[in-house]
Structure 1
Amino acid sequence: MLGLALLSPAVVAMVYGLSRAGEESSFAATGVAVPIVIGLALLTVFVAHALRTTKDPIVDVRLFGYRSFSASATLMFLSGAALYGPLFLLPLYYQQVRGFDPLTTGLALAPQGIGTALALAVVGPLADRIGARPLVAVGALITTVGTLAYTQLPANPNDVLLSASLLLRGIGLGAVGVPTMAAAYQQLPHSAIPRATSATNVIQRLGASFGTAVVALILQQQISDHATGTDAYATTFWWSLGSVLLLLPLATLLPRRNQGRADNRHDTDQQRN
């Protein structure tokens, strides 16, 4: 109960602070900094409690002792930012800069969903055969290529090129997501899987909130600096591209192949780093 009482308001406070960052155009604004600091303080107390408790904590921070889990958790945070940040930007770009109505905007964004669906159909079996590391690296590269066109937005962009870029983004993000999630459980004992699931859910949501807050803040600052609509969005997409590039070095920390899951204390202790 104490863990829930600490973690829930910590996550709520941090997500609220991050959501206000775009509105305030600053992470230093009181309405942004105060809830984030409160959330971090509560999270620190929760971590200390989780390490001391003899019961199963709501989020088991000891899971980060497994290299595959800690690498996957970091990748999930960044991939959440890489996915949800542009999901915030793209509809705004098409409606505010291009003048599309909501239906046309939805149709313009459909290729990304199609790409993700195509990737999900094949990455699962591939992850079992070759492991998460190469798939995540290739997925990050594909996502990078798919994002580049939006960092070079001309006044009259080629819609076919943008649609193809979104298709690539969807394929790349799908290739990153499934193997990363699978790798998080690879070295864990069966008894730890429920606790790992709750931890990954929290991490993904924080990454999504962080990514959205950062791109909203950058976009607002670009507009405030009197950048044109197209230039403001293109510059903001460069920052979004940065979160994708960070996936590449982290992919090297994932297991190369499926090494199996430990079923006893001796095996799991040997797999800890």
Structure 2
Amino acid sequence: MDWNDIKNIVLMIVGCYSLVIFVVNELLIEEPMLDLKLLKNYTFCMSNIIMNIAMLALYGGVFLMPIFLQQIRGLDSMNTGLILFPEAIATAISMVLYGKIGNKFDVRLFAVFALILIGINSYSMSKITLDTPNMTIMILLMIRGFGVGFLMAPVQTVGFSGLPKTAMSNASALTNTVKQVGTSIGVTIITSVMQHRNVIDYSNLASQVTSFNKNSMKLYEMLQGVFIKSGMSAGNAQGIALNKMFGEVALKAQLQALNDTMLVISIITAIVIIPTLLLKQGKQEEIKVIEAEG
């Protein structure tokens, strides 16, 4: 996000103001569109936070990998889609698998296992280079998708377990809304982190391309020689060689920014492991609700 653009700042202020007005309105009226009071339940509230971390991790791969594969690797949209598609399949498989065996174990164990899997996976993806095979990237994305599927289902189960059955419809609507908002915020965070790191990494790498750096001068002279041999004039060869060098710098800076962003995602994922362990699974008892109404 460009904070120097006044339009973006105004839109952010208007958005925040509208959100505050919406929250106040929903808390004051008798029949709100979204029952925000459900967030007073610690388990339900924390489960929504953890699910949004899962969405952040998921969209970290969905959003960043196309940038890497198309802009940095130079792949077309078809090959990029073929590499990304197995991640969605892995997520679906893990959610179905959890539905079959999830009731046999403590759901928190699934969630913690998934967080550890996603954290390790994100750290591994922060080490991706230009030489990393496409098959390796596909496998990493599948592992990420598998972990996200194993995380979202059990966390949502724990979150709903502490609420009365009469509140399930309101809780479901609130969870879906929080997911949508969380996804937007997550993509914004990912974009901001990557853009910020891209600027810093480019500045650091570009500062090394000087006449005092022997390696950069050797590369510059080599490129210039190649262009001169191809029939270019010395002046044109110098300009093109310089553009080529800084193009490579921009490419490496973008890759480094992507790696830095994946590292941030791995850190965020690790932070929520302890809150996930502290989640308490409740029991929905219709008797208590009936007694309270009676």
- TM-score tier after normalising by the smaller chain length: 0.7 to 0.9
Question: CA shift at 1:144, angstroms?
Answer: 1.5
Q: Which residue of 1 aligns with 2:88?
A: 113
Q: Which residue of 2 aligns with 1:31?
A: 7
* 1:172-191 alignment, distance < 5 Å: 172-191=147-166
- Indicate the percent of aligned positions where both proteins have the same amino acid: 23
Unpaired stretches in structure 1, ≥5 consecutive residues: 1-20, 269-273
Provide Cα deviations, 1:179-216, integer angstroms capped at 9, x if missing partner: 12222211111221111111111111111111111121
Question: CA shift at 1:49, angstroms?
Answer: 2.9
Question: CA shift at 1:141, angstroms?
Answer: 0.8
2:191 to 207, 216, 225: 216
Q: Which residue of 1 aligns with 2:24?
A: 48
Question: CA shift at 1:261, angstroms?
Answer: 0.8
1:84 to 45, 55, 59: 59
CA distance 1:43–1:158, shift in 2 (3 Å)? same
1:247 and 2:222 matched = no
Does the 8 A contact of 1:68 with 1:255 survive in 2?
Answer: yes
Provide Cα deviations, 1:217-242, integer angstroms capped at 9, x if missing partner: 22223333315232121112112223
Distance in 2 separating the partners of 1:100 and 1:64: 44
CA distance 1:85–1:30, shift in 2 (3 Å)? farther
Distance in 1 separating the partners of 2:276 and 2:5: 35
Does the 8 A contact of 2:118 with 2:147 survive in 1?
Answer: yes
* 1:1-273 alignment, distance < 5 Å: 21=1, 24=2, 26=3, 29-53=5-29, 55-225=30-200, 226=202, 228=252, 229-256=254-281, 259-263=282-286, 264-265=288-289
Q: Which residue of 1 aligns with 2:228?
A: none
Does the 8 A contact of 2:194 with 2:261 survive in 1?
Answer: yes
CA distance 1:267–1:112, shift in 2 (3 Å)? farther
State the TM-score, normalized to the length of structure 2: 0.74
Higher gyration radius (CA): 2
CA distance 1:192–1:85, shift in 2 (3 Å)? same
Question: CA shift at 1:156, angstroms?
Answer: 0.8
Distance in 2 separating the partners of 1:46 and 1:241: 33
Distance in 2 separating the partners of 1:140 and 1:266: 38
State the TM-score, normalized to the length of structure 1: 0.80
Name the amino acid aligned to 1:230: L
Distance in 2 separating the partners of 1:197 and 1:117: 20
Provide Cα deviations, 1:89-128, integer angstroms capped at 9, x if missing partner: 1111100111111111011112312321221121123332
Distance in 1 separating the partners of 2:291 and 2:148: 33
Does the 8 A contact of 1:76 with 1:200 survive in 2?
Answer: no
Unpaired stretches in structure 2, ≥5 consecutive residues: 203-249
Q: Which deviates the most, 148-157 or 167-176? A: 148-157
Distance in 2 separating the partners of 1:83 and 1:236: 13
Distance in 2 separating the partners of 1:152 and 1:125: 35
Name the amino acid aligned to 2:82: L
Name the amino acid aligned to 1:247: V
CA distance 1:247–1:149, shift in 2 (3 Å)? same
Q: Extract structure 1 runs of 4+ deviating beyond 6 A.
A: none
Does the 8 A contact of 1:187 with 1:262 survive in 2?
Answer: no
Name the amino acid aligned to 1:44: V
SS at match of 2:145: helix
